[in-house]
Structure 1
Amino acid sequence: VQALANRYANVLSSAGVAPEQRVIIALPDGPGYVAALFGVLKIGAVVVMVNPELKPDAIEYFFEYSRAAVALVAAERADVFRAAAGRAARAPALLVVGTGDWDSRLAAASETWRNYPTHRDDAAIWLFSGGTTGRPKAAVQPHRSFVNTAQCYAGQVLRYTEDDVTLSVPKLYFGYATGSNLLFPFAAGAASVLFDERCTAEVVFSRIARYRPTILITVPTMINQMVSHPEAGRQDLSSVRLATSAGEGLPEALHARWNRTFGVPLLDGLGTAEMWHIFLSNRPGRVRPGTLGEVVPGFEIRVADEEGGDVPDGTMGHLWVRGGSRALGYWQQLEKSQTCFRGEWVVTGDLVRRDADGYYTYGGRADELLKVSGKWLSATEVEGCLLLHPAVSQVAVVGVADANGLVKPCAYVICRERREGLAEELKAFVCERLEPYKHPREVIFVESLPTTHLGKVDRGKLRAASPSSS
């Protein structure tokens, strides 16, 4: 890896990339991605990780927003990136990886490189917000953040060792995977499994059978697919000492299904781009399903009201966090930076509740709460309830204004079996388990849910697509 990264550094330098310039990496997972990331950092430049499967309009946005000098793109996606570059007001030079020309340039490059003397507070990697309600914004993370979380979360919670083998559902362009499936195992001398195929339950099961990982990095959507797979009970996960879940809320009922199906400790946690990685996590031997666990060593959490005052245990409030993985700010987003970054503290926009034992429960995003019939409603709670129904595979709940301008919950459902009367059945199902005002007034069956560049449900698109909003 060192030699290949040095070759990348030499090629990038010869292409004119200078320290502190941005370099977009839009490559599939594999050795080339790893070498590209370390190669960019070696020359003192800044990594901008982008989903290689984006459509041209999204690529155009990242080109113009980042003002990157160069973009490393895969040969099979080169035409799409060229089309976006042709429309962008400011486009980077494209270096197409995987062609004969690229292979020749790489082979001719030296395997030695003297690393640029970056400072721990220099920008290292841009991590993007999920973009679930608007355009993604970049949290500019310095080098120190990656060292800090490798020591605090990877070292003290997951306890990586050189004997570990990691396997990740999310790809490396997602910061959660960048840490858990690359930087953390590298820091411990462990091994990571990388593959470029799109993740399905079958693909994950086959990789587990072949590589026998000890740590599985996953997300609730894949957890649901795995436990719902008809061959789930026949899978051998005995090599996996723990699995982690992050990226979106993990319903307690889904956690229980995982435990019944696989029996592997599943550690749900919360991290943000603004703090790079996980700062709340369950721990081996101390897992409480339905919670985000406890504060990761090295971080401090407050639960605050609208004015910033602490709220008592058992009360939902705004999450404030501080620790050594704080971003420098948002790129070209001063007002949002001032709202989020308050001295040492980061106000994440998430709602949590702490209990007397120091465990935290997730309450959703503050900007995604719905006020229905004069009361606040968390979409996450309704989604978790609907997932208990055997006909529901995936679901997203959003607020939509009715004909009178009143906001009502609307559920978009991917079902395992669709039948007449199912929509009314699901409404009644929620009414029986939650307060009646929380039940979805409309249930819309869909084949798929729109996602953001990070693979999270794009709630903005769902609200715009609702019949009531048109």
Structure 2
Amino acid sequence: MLPSADLGLLPGIAAEDHGGVTLCADMPWISACRSPETVSDFAAVVADYADRLWGAGVRPGAVVALVKSNHFDIQAIQCAVARIGALPALLSVTMEPADLVYCLKELQRPYLLIDTDGAAVLRPWQGQWGEVAARVLALTPEAAVAGAVELGESAPHRITRRSGSDRTLITHSSGTTGKPKLLVHTVDSLYAHVAPQIGVVQSLGSAGISAKCLSFVHVRMSSGLLTVLNTGLPFLGITSPDLPSVREALLRYRPEALEAQPNMFLRWEALARETPSPFSTVERYISSFDAIHPRTLRTLLEASDRPNPTFIQAYGQTETGPVTILMTTRSDLHERGRLNSRDVGTAFPGMEIRVVDDAGSPLPAGAPGHIEVRTPARAESMIGRAPLPGRETWWPMGDIGALGADGHVELLDRHVDQVLGVPSTLRAEDVLLDELPELAEVVIISVEGTVTAVAATTDGKPVDEGRWQQARDAAELPRNTRVEYRPWDDFPLTGTMKVRRHRLLPHGAPG
């Protein structure tokens, strides 16, 4: 079949082409007519959701906001909404409730589709549901709280086809730097996310299960689904990043490829030391969103029983999709300096990247500055914001980095996360994690002008002071850097497990 990014039509097309291929989740599909095991099952679930949405009155042109627990069924519901010509808006249930209400208001009274978790999060605003939603639909009877109607009765739906310039999906940014941005993707811009991924899958010739443990409302998962449906790659959606759930899923399904957010992989280092290793069958690890910590990369590669496993990193953002790619094998770990860098690879074909100074002038190779990209995958627009510049315009990533003469990008900092006196907070955190294996997480911020390391240890005990000072010096942090220890569970995270650095500041403290 020809590659496609039509969320509504592709499940059915893929079912005809490779319907028997595995496509499943590790947990039951509570709101679906069945728990799919194959591509054909998935297509049937999408069609059933579409019938039920049609029966509830959803019609072409409507916006359907989805707020539910993290599960792969989000992707099936998204496809069903698109199939009947409506526009899915995927919102994370882990978002701050006030931010969720903000997003619903920006969407101008969409249909609101919830499960029990979505209902619980939005319950304080239940009296305002009529103001922010045209109608509230409950995925299960348990979610049908006051004002919500169960998504139950079916009616044969009418399929809507989309052209390349038609809007097909609304997702949101992580909200690490403020209010989430609602981003609109067209069929063409979403396909530009997918095309490089299809190329990578086809070049690797994979046949084993590809497992993903992600935020299923993120555009990365939507493009991942399209890649799976286009290529016939067997797929497993892992619902929870908690260690027992991940261990059970990996030992049961024995995936060949495994994708997760960087901070999930960091948390899973503990699993890598277990016998039997849950990662023993993993040939390829995949990570996007942020650069992976070198310690984590090394730990996971060494946990595989494959001859020479690979770690594939992609750098990008919700607005752009993946922009660069870097592949590291276990044999590369011995390459001098490889794990002391923040290298996130080179640009995918058809995408451009540059580094500029404050005035927007390109900088020479190796000079740190602002990273900008040009890509056909950039989102079409933002809800409630001024029109975006054309895709031929350079797009600021909001990151500080350097571009090498060989085209490799060195990622140093988010612009808003820079700390005075620290050349790169990301590199400093890498060094601390390498020097101090007992650290489960460490984040460098500024508190009232003082460089501060907010740290969590695996055993909950502070690091020996002498060892801390040695690690601090190796990380090139100021001698007056202070350490604040917190339990890992106290770190404020986004739905993609990024640390909300601005939320680590004591109340009222300036950055």
Which TM class, normalised by the smaller chain length?
0.7 to 0.9
Q: Please state whether the residue corresponding to 1:347 is helix, strand or coil.
A: strand
Match of 1:264 among 309, 319, 334: 309
- Displacement of 1:284 in angstroms is 6.7
Mapped to 1, the partners of 2:281 and 2:300 lie a distance apart of 16
- Displacement of 1:433 in angstroms is 0.8
Confirm whether residue 25 of structure 1 aligns to residue 99 of structure 2.
no
Q: Which residue of 1 aligns with 2:27?
A: none
User: What amino acid maps onto 1:219 in structure 2?
Assistant: Q
Confirm whether residue 365 of structure 1 aligns to residue 410 of structure 2.
no
User: What amino acid maps onto 2:327 in structure 1?
Assistant: R
Q: Which residue of 1 aligns with 2:35?
A: none
Mapped to 2, the partners of 1:134 and 1:307 lie a distance apart of 25
User: What amino acid maps onto 1:353 in structure 2?
Assistant: A
- Displacement of 1:424 in angstroms is 4.1
Superposition pairs of residues 116-127 of structure 1, within 5 angstroms: 116-127=160-171
Aligned pair in 2 of structure 1 residues 11, 390: CA closer, same or farther (>3 Å)?
same
The superposition leaves residues 252-274 of structure 1 with CA deviations (integer Å, 9 ceiling, x where unpaired) of 23322333333631112212111
Match of 2:395 among 343, 346, 369: 346
> Conserved in 1, the CA contact under 8 Å of 2:279 and 2:303?
no
Match of 1:278 among 315, 318, 322: 322
- Could you list the runs of 5+ residues in structure 1 that have no partner in the other structure? 402-406
Q: Which residue of 1 aligns with 2:97?
A: 56
Confirm whether residue 384 of structure 1 aligns to residue 430 of structure 2.
yes
Mapped to 2, the partners of 1:333 and 1:453 lie a distance apart of 23
Q: Which residue of 1 aligns with 2:369?
A: 317
Superposition pairs of residues 168-179 of structure 1, within 5 angstroms: 168-179=212-223
Q: Which residue of 2 aligns with 1:133?
A: 177
Of 303-312 and 285-294, the range deviating more from structure 2: 285-294
Superposition pairs of residues 57-76 of structure 1, within 5 angstroms: 57-76=98-117
Q: Please state whether the residue corresponding to 1:247 is helix, strand or coil.
A: coil
> Conserved in 1, the CA contact under 8 Å of 2:357 and 2:363?
yes
Match of 1:409 among 440, 446, 451: 451
Confirm whether residue 151 of structure 1 aligns to residue 192 of structure 2.
no
> Conserved in 1, the CA contact under 8 Å of 2:115 and 2:143?
no
Structure 2-normalised TM-score? 0.79
Aligned pair in 2 of structure 1 residues 245, 192: CA closer, same or farther (>3 Å)?
same
> Conserved in 2, the CA contact under 8 Å of 1:226 and 1:232?
no
Confirm whether residue 326 of structure 1 aligns to residue 378 of structure 2.
yes
Superposition pairs of residues 204-215 of structure 1, within 5 angstroms: 204-215=246-257
> Conserved in 1, the CA contact under 8 Å of 2:70 and 2:216?
yes
Of 4-13 and 139-148, the range deviating more from structure 2: 4-13
Mapped to 2, the partners of 1:231 and 1:260 lie a distance apart of 10
Match of 1:183 among 226, 230, 250: 226
- Could you list the runs of 5+ residues in structure 2 that have no partner in the other structure? 1-41, 333-337
Q: Please state whether the residue corresponding to 1:377 is helix, strand or coil.
A: coil
Aligned pair in 2 of structure 1 residues 132, 12: CA closer, same or farther (>3 Å)?
same
The superposition leaves residues 208-232 of structure 1 with CA deviations (integer Å, 9 ceiling, x where unpaired) of 2211222211122222222234743
Q: Which residue of 2 aligns with 1:442?
A: 482
Q: Please state whether the residue corresponding to 2:319 is helix, strand or coil.
A: helix
- Displacement of 1:178 in angstroms is 2.8
> Conserved in 2, the CA contact under 8 Å of 1:164 and 1:190?
yes
The superposition leaves residues 386-416 of structure 1 with CA deviations (integer Å, 9 ceiling, x where unpaired) of 2121221111221222xxxxx2221111112
The superposition leaves residues 131-183 of structure 1 with CA deviations (integer Å, 9 ceiling, x where unpaired) of 11211112221111222222223323674767342211213112223323x22
Confirm whether residue 220 of structure 1 aligns to residue 262 of structure 2.
yes
Mapped to 2, the partners of 1:237 and 1:160 lie a distance apart of 19
Aligned pair in 2 of structure 1 residues 230, 218: CA closer, same or farther (>3 Å)?
closer
Mapped to 2, the partners of 1:20 and 1:399 lie a distance apart of 46
> Conserved in 2, the CA contact under 8 Å of 1:27 and 1:73?
yes
Q: Which residue of 2 aligns with 1:38?
A: 79
Mapped to 2, the partners of 1:435 and 1:227 lie a distance apart of 25
- Displacement of 1:244 in angstroms is 0.8
User: What amino acid maps onto 2:173 in structure 1?
Assistant: S
Match of 1:108 among 146, 149, 154: 154
Mapped to 1, the partners of 2:277 and 2:153 lie a distance apart of 42
Q: Which residue of 2 aligns with 1:404?
A: none
Q: Please state whether the residue corresponding to 2:216 is helix, strand or coil.
A: coil
Equivalenced residues, count: 451
Q: Which residue of 1 aligns with 2:7?
A: none
Mapped to 1, the partners of 2:199 and 2:326 lie a distance apart of 14
- Displacement of 1:63 in angstroms is 1.8
> Conserved in 1, the CA contact under 8 Å of 2:64 and 2:112?
yes
- Displacement of 1:93 in angstroms is 2.0
Of 98-107 and 5-14, the range deviating more from structure 2: 98-107
Aligned pair in 2 of structure 1 residues 440, 333: CA closer, same or farther (>3 Å)?
farther
Mapped to 2, the partners of 1:61 and 1:346 lie a distance apart of 26
Q: Please state whether the residue corresponding to 1:80 is helix, strand or coil.
A: helix
Mapped to 1, the partners of 2:431 and 2:202 lie a distance apart of 30
Q: Which residue of 2 aligns with 1:192?
A: 235
- Displacement of 1:343 in angstroms is 4.0
Aligned pair in 2 of structure 1 residues 332, 358: CA closer, same or farther (>3 Å)?
same
Of 29-38 and 453-462, the range deviating more from structure 2: 29-38
Mapped to 2, the partners of 1:419 and 1:33 lie a distance apart of 39
> Conserved in 2, the CA contact under 8 Å of 1:160 and 1:190?
no
Q: Which residue of 1 aligns with 2:285?
A: 243
Aligned pair in 2 of structure 1 residues 168, 413: CA closer, same or farther (>3 Å)?
same
User: What amino acid maps onto 1:265 in structure 2?
Assistant: T
User: What amino acid maps onto 1:270 in structure 2?
Assistant: Y
Mapped to 1, the partners of 2:59 and 2:168 lie a distance apart of 13
Structure 1-normalised TM-score? 0.86
Mapped to 1, the partners of 2:250 and 2:143 lie a distance apart of 35
Of 441-450 and 55-64, the range deviating more from structure 2: 55-64
Mapped to 1, the partners of 2:201 and 2:358 lie a distance apart of 31
Mapped to 2, the partners of 1:306 and 1:20 lie a distance apart of 42
Give RMSD over aligned pairs: 3.0
